Amino acid sequence: MWSANVSRADQLTISSISATSLAQEFGTPAFIMDEVDFYDRAKSWDQALGTAFGSHAGNVYYAAKAFICVEVARWIKEIGIGIDVCTGGELAVALAGGIDPSKIEVHGNNKSVAEIEKAVSAGVGTIVIDSLFEIDRVAAAAQKFGVVQDVLLRLTPGIEAHTHESIATAHEDVKFGFSIASGSAWQAIEATRTHASIALRGFHAHIGSQILDTDSFEISAERLIALLAKYRDTFKEELPELDLGGGYGIAYLPGDEELLPTVVMNALAQAVKENCAKYKLAHPRISIEPGRAIVGPTMFTLYEVGTIKDVTLENGNNRRYISIDGGMSENIRPALYSAEYTAVLANRTSNAPMLSTRLVGKHCETGDIVIREISLASDIAPGDLLATPATGAYGRSMASNYNHMPRPPVIAVKDGKARVILRRETEADLLRLDI
């Protein structure tokens, strides 16, 4: 939930820098990022993949959508893992960070021709094809630039993953990929084989996000392998790769479990081995795409309390509203997915009695709730600092300028030093697009 270098004694500190000094130096709201924890998490996924799959381990592709900026792209390069991008914008950041194009995998269910051409001409390692139209478009781009582009086909293995409806992606009724069950996957395979400028390397599936059990991942692998076998039986050759996507869940609340890299990689390795043996297939190279599990726990959001209000409810009870200086513009997840967070008093400790509280933002909207119900010290006052952990994934990356709020900065902390890696927007930034 909290990153490795956060501690809470007299006040919240990260790598021995206090929340108070971070707020003074960088202002609030701010995303505070534990740089060392990011490296450790990325490496632990890489190591777990390597240990579980040995010589059959492919790449960890960090899912940029969870959070990316140029500095983090440089870290990815230094760590030596790959990156999954799903738009031309994410591709631009990955390239600006110096990531080797061969370690870039390009996703998206509606890549424009311009995006495809940019990816192919940059020399990206893999394009994950999502529709029949795209087969022709990628083939044409590859022909234009005189290359043979490696591709995977994105498949929907028909799995109802145990997660929020909006972030489950592999049941039948979704916009992504080709369905195995309906035969559209087979149609895509045949269409791909008609083009000399694209090389089909294998299949991809991403079944959803914030998944906490290993079963759905194992079933997904099993279904992809069954299709690899059908391919081999039909065309008398084997495809060498599977990408099993991301989606590994993290802890948001005290007592929540997270899906550990070793646990899920070992379960997957077992499932892949068994199914390859069952179909007498050579073991394919296995890649994965964790986003949230790498970056999610590495950040917390630091807020300042602005106003406090006690409201009498219909049943006569009191509800305390604490307003902080951010809200749904930098954390849309509670409003969008009913996602739950916790918060702590960050600048001091308190022995005051706890009070049932609703933590809200400063947006002009009733649904601007960061935490619907939390027990917080009753002496919290304007000027106090609050911190919400586990906001690294889909926090800053989904932030908006709703109500013309400038988006908060990301401050990286390492070895007792804090620095801005993505600066705070200014009013000038907000005005820069107006004609």
Query: By 3-state DSSP, what share of the chain in percent is helix, strand and coil, each rounded to 5?
Result: 35, 25, 40
Give the count of alpha carbons within 13 A of 54, CB side only: 5
Does residue 396 bind ligand LLP (CB under 6 A)? Answer: no
**Which of 125, 177, 202, 247 lies at the binding interface for ligand LLP (CB under 6 A)?**
247
Structure tokens at 21: 């000094």
Q: Which amino acid is at 217?
A: F
Contact flag: residue 94 with ligand LLP (CB under 6 A): no
Query: Is position 276 annotated as part of the catalytic site?
Result: no
Q: Which is nearer to ligand LLP, 271 or 293 (CB)?
A: 293
Instruction: Round to whole Å and give the CA distance between 411 and 33.
Output: 6
Please report how close the Cβ of residue 331 comes to ligand LLP at its closest, in angstroms.
10
Contacts (Cβ under 8 Å, ≥6 apart) of 117 = 141, 144, 145
Q: Does 393 bind ligand LLP (CB under 6 A)?
A: yes
Q: Looking at 5-13, 230-238, 245-253, 368-376, which segment touches ligand LLP (CB under 6 A)?
A: 245-253
SS3 241: strand
- Of 1-9, 12-20, 202-210, 263-271, the segment contacting ligand LLP by CB under 6 A is 202-210
Binding segment toward ligand LLP, per CB under 6 A, in 32-40, 188-196, 284-292, 318-326: 284-292
Residue 271 falls in which region: left (phi positive, over 0), alpha (psi -120 to 50) or beta:
alpha
User: What is the CB-side half-sphere exposure of residue 195 using CA atoms within 13 A?
Assistant: 25
Among 103, 107, 137, 195, binds ligand LLP (CB under 6 A): 107
Binder of ligand LLP out of 29, 58, 202, 245 (CB under 6 A):
245
283 touching ligand LLP, by CB under 6 A: no
Contact call for residue 291 and ligand LLP (CB under 6 A):
yes
Least separation, in Å, of the C-beta of 91 and ligand LLP?
14
Q: Segment near ligand LLP (CB under 6 A), from 16-24, 50-58, 206-214, 301-309?
A: 206-214
Residue 125 in contact with ligand LLP, rule: CB under 6 A: no
Q: Which of 33, 66, 265, 376 binds ligand LLP (CB under 6 A)?
A: 66
Report if residue 290 touches ligand LLP, rule: CB under 6 A: yes
| CA-based end-to-end distance of the chain | 44
Taking a C-beta distance cutoff of 8 angstroms, is the pair 198, 236 a contact?
no
Q: What is the 3-state secondary structure (H, E, C) of 284-326?
A: CEEEECCCHHHHHHHEEEEEEEEEEEEEECCCCCEEEEEEECC
Residues annotated as catalytic (active site), given as ranges: 364
Q: Which residues bind ligand LLP (CB under 6 A)?
A: 63, 65-66, 84, 107, 167, 206, 209-210, 245-248, 289-293, 333, 337, 393-394, 398
